[in-house]
Amino acid sequence: MPLYPLGISRSRDVRGTDEQAVGQAVELRWRRAGDLACVFVDAPHDAFKPVQHAAALDAIHRRICVLPMRFGVEVRDEAEIGSLLQARRRELLDDLDRLDGACEMALRIALPSPERLPTAPHSQAPSSLAYLQQRRSCYRQADAAVELERLIVEQFTERLRGTCRTWRRLPSAPPRLIRLAFLVERDLVPVFRSRLEGARSLCRRGHCVVLGPWPPYSFV
């Protein structure tokens, strides 16, 4: 049966937290390798759901620093976990130092869709000149949208300067959606939220949603 690792912490931090119930079906286990430890579950794939994975990581993150791993990662046995910890020891310890005491706050900004340009009726093919004008308008509209998003990101990040260690813009599949992730010290979360509320006026044309705090998925 494969094992499903959830995250990595320092061995000294997990003392006394070797076992923790997750729902009713499975429990967390720890594999130590020197100064690192990996938390994992030993259960059939269909017995451990994404929501349990996220809830377990969140519960651990509330107590100690943890490098979250994505749901669905499999390893053969505990020996493979130990080898992974030893092979990447220096990198993992550096990441734990970098993320210690911090959480992730997410900002989603949904911008309204641009107005659709008028098109010629199906029965009437546009002339070459009309077609070129339409294409030029489309390109101008696309360039304007990119510039608007750039300005919004710049303004938000400038207003939030000093309340976070760093930030990242995340890829977004839906058009006109800006996704930002901020690495925020736990003690500064109220300050971050307050500063963000004051920055909402920068985006009157969009809808802003703040999510978190949660483990720093976007910074691992």
Assessment of whether the complete model's pTM goes beyond 0.85: no
Q: Residue 180 pLDDT more than 80? A: yes
pLDDT tier at 144, thresholds 50, 70, 90: confident
- C-alpha 185/C-alpha 96 separation (Å) is 14
pLDDT tier at 19, thresholds 50, 70, 90: very low
pLDDT at 21: 45
Q: Are strands 20-22 and 26-33 parallel, antiparallel or unpaired?
A: antiparallel
pLDDT in tens, 53-96: 999 999 999 999 999 998 988 999 999 999 999 999 999 999 99
Buried b (16+ CB within 10 A) or exposed e, 95-123: bbebbeebbbbbbbbebeeeeeeeeeeee
Query: What is the average pLDDT across 20-24?
Result: 46
- C-alpha 139/C-alpha 57 separation (Å) is 44
* Domains assigned to the chain: 4-99 (no CATH), 102-219 (3.30.70)
pLDDT at 61: 94
> Which of 82-91, 153-162, 199-208 comes out lowest in average pLDDT?
199-208
pLDDT tier at 16, thresholds 50, 70, 90: low
- C-alpha 206/C-alpha 130 separation (Å) is 32
Q: Around Cβ 78, how many Cβ atoms within 10 Å?
A: 17
pLDDT at 118: 56
Query: What is the average pLDDT across 137-145?
Result: 73
- C-alpha 219/C-alpha 101 separation (Å) is 13
Between 26 and 51, whose confidence is greater?
51
